[in-house]
Amino acid sequence: MARLKAVLWDMDGTIAESERDGHRLAFNMAFEDCGVRWRWDEARYGELLRITGGRERLLFDMNTRGDAPTVSEREAVARAIHAKKNAYYAELVAGGAIALRGGVLALMRQCRERGVRMGIATTTSRSNVEALMRVHLGERWADWFAVTVCGEDVKRKKPDPEVYLSALRSLAIGPLEAVAIEDAPGGLAAARAADIPVVVTRSAYFLKAPIEGAVAVGPGLHDRRGWRPALRAGDDDARGVDLDDIEGWCAQMDSVCDYP
Ligand code: XBP
Protein backbone atom coordinates (compact mmCIF):
# COMPACT_ATOMS: atom_id res chain seq x y z
CA MET A 1 0.00 0.00 0.00
CA ALA A 2 1.17 3.51 -0.80
CA ARG A 3 2.10 5.63 2.20
CA LEU A 4 -0.97 6.96 3.93
CA LYS A 5 -1.88 10.40 2.64
CA ALA A 6 -5.31 10.94 4.12
CA VAL A 7 -7.56 9.80 6.94
CA LEU A 8 -11.25 10.05 6.07
CA TRP A 9 -13.52 10.31 9.08
CA ASP A 10 -17.11 9.24 9.28
CA MET A 11 -18.97 11.46 11.72
CA ASP A 12 -21.98 9.97 13.55
CA GLY A 13 -20.93 7.02 15.67
CA THR A 14 -17.24 7.38 14.75
CA ILE A 15 -16.12 10.86 15.73
CA ALA A 16 -18.84 10.99 18.38
CA GLU A 17 -21.62 8.82 19.80
CA SER A 18 -24.10 11.30 18.44
CA GLU A 19 -27.07 9.10 17.58
CA ARG A 20 -28.80 7.91 20.76
CA ASP A 21 -28.41 11.05 22.87
CA GLY A 22 -28.10 13.49 20.00
CA HIS A 23 -30.09 12.92 16.82
CA ARG A 24 -32.64 10.62 18.51
CA LEU A 25 -33.41 13.07 21.30
CA ALA A 26 -33.52 15.95 18.86
CA PHE A 27 -36.01 14.05 16.67
CA ASN A 28 -38.22 13.46 19.70
CA MET A 29 -38.08 17.16 20.58
CA ALA A 30 -39.01 18.03 16.99
CA PHE A 31 -41.93 15.55 17.06
CA GLU A 32 -43.23 17.23 20.18
CA ASP A 33 -42.77 20.68 18.68
CA CYS A 34 -44.63 19.69 15.54
CA GLY A 35 -47.53 18.27 17.54
CA VAL A 36 -47.07 14.66 16.50
CA ARG A 37 -47.23 11.87 19.05
CA TRP A 38 -44.39 9.81 17.61
CA ARG A 39 -41.41 9.12 19.86
CA TRP A 40 -38.41 6.95 19.09
CA ASP A 41 -37.09 4.92 21.97
CA GLU A 42 -33.51 3.65 21.93
CA ALA A 43 -34.41 0.28 20.49
CA ARG A 44 -36.59 1.63 17.69
CA TYR A 45 -33.95 4.19 16.77
CA GLY A 46 -31.39 1.38 16.57
CA GLU A 47 -33.58 -0.41 14.04
CA LEU A 48 -34.05 2.78 12.06
CA LEU A 49 -30.31 3.44 11.84
CA ARG A 50 -30.06 1.07 8.94
CA ILE A 51 -31.64 3.90 6.94
CA THR A 52 -28.97 6.58 6.46
CA GLY A 53 -30.05 10.19 6.42
CA GLY A 54 -32.34 11.61 9.08
CA ARG A 55 -35.06 12.74 6.67
CA GLU A 56 -34.98 9.40 4.85
CA ARG A 57 -35.14 7.62 8.23
CA LEU A 58 -38.22 9.60 9.15
CA LEU A 59 -39.92 8.91 5.83
CA PHE A 60 -39.21 5.22 6.27
CA ASP A 61 -40.74 5.30 9.76
CA MET A 62 -43.82 7.15 8.49
CA ASN A 63 -44.41 4.36 6.00
CA THR A 64 -44.80 1.96 8.92
CA ARG A 65 -47.36 4.09 10.82
CA GLY A 66 -51.12 4.19 10.69
CA ASP A 67 -51.16 7.82 11.85
CA ALA A 68 -48.77 9.15 9.18
CA PRO A 69 -49.77 12.01 6.88
CA THR A 70 -51.02 11.14 3.40
CA VAL A 71 -48.33 10.04 0.97
CA SER A 72 -48.47 13.35 -0.89
CA GLU A 73 -47.88 15.29 2.34
CA ARG A 74 -45.11 13.16 3.77
CA GLU A 75 -42.14 14.73 2.04
CA ALA A 76 -43.05 18.24 3.25
CA VAL A 77 -43.76 17.04 6.79
CA ALA A 78 -40.46 15.15 6.88
CA ARG A 79 -38.58 18.24 5.70
CA ALA A 80 -40.18 20.43 8.37
CA ILE A 81 -39.54 17.97 11.20
CA HIS A 82 -36.01 17.30 9.99
CA ALA A 83 -35.14 21.00 9.94
CA LYS A 84 -36.39 21.37 13.51
CA LYS A 85 -34.48 18.25 14.51
CA ASN A 86 -31.24 19.71 13.20
CA ALA A 87 -31.86 22.94 15.11
CA TYR A 88 -32.43 20.98 18.34
CA TYR A 89 -29.38 18.86 17.60
CA ALA A 90 -27.24 21.99 17.26
CA GLU A 91 -28.56 23.21 20.63
CA LEU A 92 -27.78 19.90 22.33
CA VAL A 93 -24.29 19.87 20.85
CA ALA A 94 -23.60 23.50 21.76
CA GLY A 95 -24.67 22.67 25.31
CA GLY A 96 -21.96 20.01 25.51
CA ALA A 97 -24.24 16.96 25.32
CA ILE A 98 -22.08 15.13 22.77
CA ALA A 99 -18.42 14.37 23.51
CA LEU A 100 -15.84 13.25 20.98
CA ARG A 101 -15.12 9.54 21.24
CA GLY A 102 -11.93 8.64 23.09
CA GLY A 103 -8.77 8.68 21.00
CA VAL A 104 -10.32 10.73 18.19
CA LEU A 105 -8.72 14.03 19.09
CA ALA A 106 -5.33 12.41 19.69
CA LEU A 107 -5.37 10.80 16.25
CA MET A 108 -6.55 14.03 14.61
CA ARG A 109 -3.68 15.91 16.28
CA GLN A 110 -1.20 13.29 15.15
CA CYS A 111 -2.45 13.60 11.56
CA ARG A 112 -1.84 17.34 11.71
CA GLU A 113 1.63 16.92 13.20
CA ARG A 114 2.61 14.43 10.52
CA GLY A 115 1.03 16.25 7.60
CA VAL A 116 -1.48 13.47 6.89
CA ARG A 117 -4.49 15.27 5.49
CA MET A 118 -7.93 14.63 6.92
CA GLY A 119 -11.38 14.62 5.43
CA ILE A 120 -14.89 14.18 6.76
CA ALA A 121 -17.02 11.80 4.71
CA THR A 122 -20.47 11.75 6.21
CA THR A 123 -24.05 11.56 5.11
CA THR A 124 -25.26 13.78 7.91
CA SER A 125 -26.28 17.39 7.24
CA ARG A 126 -23.54 20.03 7.00
CA SER A 127 -25.09 22.02 9.86
CA ASN A 128 -24.60 19.02 12.16
CA VAL A 129 -20.95 18.68 11.19
CA GLU A 130 -20.39 22.38 11.81
CA ALA A 131 -22.13 22.32 15.18
CA LEU A 132 -20.13 19.38 16.51
CA MET A 133 -16.75 20.36 15.12
CA ARG A 134 -17.05 23.97 16.25
CA VAL A 135 -17.68 22.90 19.84
CA HIS A 136 -14.74 20.52 19.92
CA LEU A 137 -12.15 22.02 17.56
CA GLY A 138 -13.05 25.69 17.77
CA GLU A 139 -14.20 28.35 15.31
CA ARG A 140 -11.42 27.41 12.87
CA TRP A 141 -12.37 23.72 12.84
CA ALA A 142 -12.56 23.68 9.04
CA ASP A 143 -8.79 24.28 8.85
CA TRP A 144 -8.32 20.77 10.24
CA PHE A 145 -9.88 19.14 7.19
CA ALA A 146 -8.81 19.25 3.57
CA VAL A 147 -12.30 18.20 2.49
CA THR A 148 -15.70 17.86 4.14
CA VAL A 149 -18.32 15.95 2.18
CA CYS A 150 -21.81 15.94 3.74
CA GLY A 151 -25.28 14.63 3.01
CA GLU A 152 -26.24 17.64 0.89
CA ASP A 153 -23.22 17.13 -1.38
CA VAL A 154 -24.25 13.74 -2.73
CA LYS A 155 -27.17 12.27 -4.64
CA ARG A 156 -26.94 8.93 -2.88
CA LYS A 157 -26.12 8.46 0.80
CA LYS A 158 -24.12 5.63 2.35
CA PRO A 159 -23.86 2.69 1.74
CA ASP A 160 -23.40 4.19 -1.70
CA PRO A 161 -19.71 5.11 -2.16
CA GLU A 162 -20.46 8.59 -3.57
CA VAL A 163 -19.39 10.45 -0.44
CA TYR A 164 -16.03 8.66 -0.42
CA LEU A 165 -15.46 8.95 -4.17
CA SER A 166 -16.12 12.66 -3.91
CA ALA A 167 -13.61 13.01 -1.04
CA LEU A 168 -10.93 11.13 -2.99
CA ARG A 169 -11.54 13.35 -6.03
CA SER A 170 -11.18 16.51 -3.97
CA LEU A 171 -7.98 15.27 -2.39
CA ALA A 172 -6.68 14.02 -5.77
CA ILE A 173 -5.48 10.75 -4.25
CA GLY A 174 -6.14 7.09 -4.94
CA PRO A 175 -8.17 4.89 -2.59
CA LEU A 176 -5.15 2.99 -1.28
CA GLU A 177 -3.54 6.25 -0.20
CA ALA A 178 -6.42 6.81 2.21
CA VAL A 179 -7.98 5.02 5.12
CA ALA A 180 -11.58 5.42 6.26
CA ILE A 181 -12.59 5.29 9.90
CA GLU A 182 -16.13 4.02 10.28
CA ASP A 183 -18.34 2.53 12.96
CA ALA A 184 -21.05 0.57 11.17
CA PRO A 185 -21.71 -1.82 8.28
CA GLY A 186 -23.29 0.84 6.03
CA GLY A 187 -20.30 3.14 6.26
CA LEU A 188 -17.90 0.23 5.86
CA ALA A 189 -19.74 -0.83 2.70
CA ALA A 190 -19.58 2.73 1.33
CA ALA A 191 -15.82 3.05 1.82
CA ARG A 192 -15.13 -0.45 0.56
CA ALA A 193 -17.18 0.17 -2.57
CA ALA A 194 -14.77 3.06 -3.19
CA ASP A 195 -11.86 0.60 -2.61
CA ILE A 196 -10.67 2.44 0.50
CA PRO A 197 -9.26 0.37 3.38
CA VAL A 198 -11.46 0.73 6.46
CA VAL A 199 -10.77 0.68 10.19
CA VAL A 200 -13.97 0.05 12.15
CA THR A 201 -14.35 1.49 15.65
CA ARG A 202 -17.61 -0.09 16.73
CA SER A 203 -20.19 2.32 18.10
CA ALA A 204 -22.88 1.65 20.70
CA TYR A 205 -25.57 0.65 18.22
CA PHE A 206 -23.26 -1.65 16.23
CA LEU A 207 -21.36 -3.54 18.93
CA LYS A 208 -22.42 -6.92 17.54
CA ALA A 209 -23.02 -6.06 13.89
CA PRO A 210 -21.26 -8.33 11.40
CA ILE A 211 -18.21 -6.54 10.03
CA GLU A 212 -16.53 -8.05 6.99
CA GLY A 213 -13.68 -6.74 4.92
CA ALA A 214 -12.30 -4.11 7.28
CA VAL A 215 -8.52 -3.96 7.72
CA ALA A 216 -9.17 -3.82 11.45
CA VAL A 217 -12.13 -3.91 13.84
CA GLY A 218 -12.03 -2.79 17.44
CA PRO A 219 -13.74 -1.07 20.33
CA GLY A 220 -12.45 2.45 19.75
CA LEU A 221 -9.32 4.48 19.13
CA HIS A 222 -8.83 5.03 22.85
CA ASP A 223 -7.99 1.39 23.53
CA ARG A 224 -5.24 -0.82 22.09
CA ARG A 225 -6.95 -3.94 23.41
CA GLY A 226 -9.72 -5.87 21.73
CA TRP A 227 -8.66 -5.26 18.13
CA ARG A 228 -8.70 -7.73 15.28
CA PRO A 229 -5.92 -7.99 14.07
CA ALA A 230 -4.48 -7.56 17.54
CA LEU A 231 -2.15 -4.68 18.29
CA ARG A 232 1.15 -5.42 19.89
CA ALA A 233 0.80 -4.81 23.61
CA GLY A 234 2.96 -1.85 24.56
CA ASP A 235 4.26 -0.47 27.82
CA ASP A 236 1.55 2.08 27.55
CA ASP A 237 -1.86 0.61 26.73
CA ALA A 238 -3.46 3.94 27.61
CA ARG A 239 -1.87 5.54 24.55
CA GLY A 240 -4.59 4.43 22.13
CA VAL A 241 -4.44 3.61 18.43
CA ASP A 242 -2.08 5.80 16.40
CA LEU A 243 -1.15 6.37 12.77
CA ASP A 244 1.63 3.75 12.89
CA ASP A 245 -0.92 1.15 13.98
CA ILE A 246 -3.26 2.13 11.16
CA GLU A 247 -0.48 2.07 8.57
CA GLY A 248 0.54 -1.33 9.92
CA TRP A 249 -2.99 -2.71 9.47
CA CYS A 250 -3.21 -1.31 5.97
CA ALA A 251 0.17 -2.81 5.07
CA GLN A 252 -0.85 -6.29 6.18
CA MET A 253 -4.39 -6.18 4.86
CA ASP A 254 -3.83 -8.75 2.09
CA SER A 255 -2.56 -11.39 4.42
CA VAL A 256 -4.58 -10.79 7.56
CA CYS A 257 -8.03 -9.55 6.81
CA ASP A 258 -9.26 -11.23 3.71
CA TYR A 259 -9.34 -7.87 1.99
CA PRO A 260 -9.54 -8.34 -1.78
C1 XBP B 1 -25.21 9.27 9.89
C2 XBP B 1 -26.59 9.38 9.43
C3 XBP B 1 -27.30 10.62 9.65
C4 XBP B 1 -27.56 11.00 11.08
C5 XBP B 1 -28.52 12.14 11.14
O6 XBP B 1 -24.43 9.27 8.77
O7 XBP B 1 -27.15 8.46 8.88
O8 XBP B 1 -28.51 10.48 9.02
O9 XBP B 1 -28.13 9.92 11.79
O10 XBP B 1 -28.13 13.17 10.31
P11 XBP B 1 -22.83 9.04 8.84
P12 XBP B 1 -29.16 13.94 9.35
O13 XBP B 1 -22.59 7.75 9.58
O14 XBP B 1 -22.43 8.99 7.40
O15 XBP B 1 -22.20 10.22 9.53
O16 XBP B 1 -30.43 14.04 10.07
O17 XBP B 1 -28.50 15.27 9.12
O18 XBP B 1 -29.27 13.13 8.09
Is 160 assigned a catalytic role? no
Q: At what angle do helices 71-94 and 54-62 cross, to 10 degrees?
A: 140
Is 33 assigned a catalytic role? no
- Rounded CA gap, 193 and 82, in Å? 28
DSSP 3-55: PP-EEEE--BTTTB--IIIIIHHHHHHHHHHTT------HHHHHHHTTS-SHH
- Rounded CA gap, 222 and 148, in Å? 24
CATH code of residue 213: 3.40.50.1000
pLDDT tens over the chain, length 260 residues? 458 999 999 999 999 999 999 999 999 999 999 999 999 999 999 999 999 999 999 999 999 999 999 999 999 999 999 999 999 999 999 999 999 999 999 999 999 999 999 999 999 999 999 999 999 999 999 999 999 999 999 999 999 999 999 999 999 999 999 999 999 999 999 999 999 999 999 999 999 999 999 999 999 999 999 999 999 876 666 689 999 999 999 998 754 454 44
pLDDT confidence of residue 237: 60
Nearest to 195, CA basis, from 209, 210, 170, 215: 215
Residue 178 DSSP symbol: E
pLDDT confidence of residue 81: 98
Range of the domain at 48: 19-94
Whether 253 maps to a domain, the answer reads yes
Looking at the structure, tell me whether residues 64 and 29 fall in a common domain: yes
Looking at the structure, tell me whether residues 11 and 133 fall in a common domain: yes
State if residue 162 touches ligand 1 by the CB under 6 angstroms criterion.
no
Of how many residues is the chain composed? 260
SS3 147: strand
Number of domains in the chain: 2
Which of the listed residues 94, 113, 140 is the one where a domain comes to its end?
94
Looking at the structure, tell me whether residues 90 and 126 fall in a common domain: no
State if residue 148 touches ligand 1 by the CB under 6 angstroms criterion.
no
Looking at the structure, tell me whether residues 75 and 111 fall in a common domain: no
User: Whose Cα sits closest to atom 16 in ligand 1?
Assistant: 54
pLDDT confidence of residue 239: 83
- Rounded CA gap, 98 and 216, in Å? 26
Which of the listed residues 79, 94, 109 is the one where a domain comes to its end?
94
DSSP 179-194: EEEESSHHHHHHHHHT
Looking at the structure, tell me whether residues 238 and 226 fall in a common domain: yes
- Rounded CA gap, 3 and 184, in Å? 25
Whether 246 maps to a domain, the answer reads yes
CATH code of residue 51: 1.10.150.240
State if residue 186 touches ligand 1 by the CB under 6 angstroms criterion.
no
Whether 1 maps to a domain, the answer reads no
pLDDT confidence of residue 232: 81
Looking at the structure, tell me whether residues 116 and 234 fall in a common domain: yes
Q: What is the pTM of this model?
A: 0.95
Whether 167 maps to a domain, the answer reads yes
Exposed e or buried b per residue across 146-170, where buried means at least 16 C-beta atoms within 10 angstroms of its C-beta: bbbbbbebbeebbbbbbbbbbbbee
SS3 155: coil
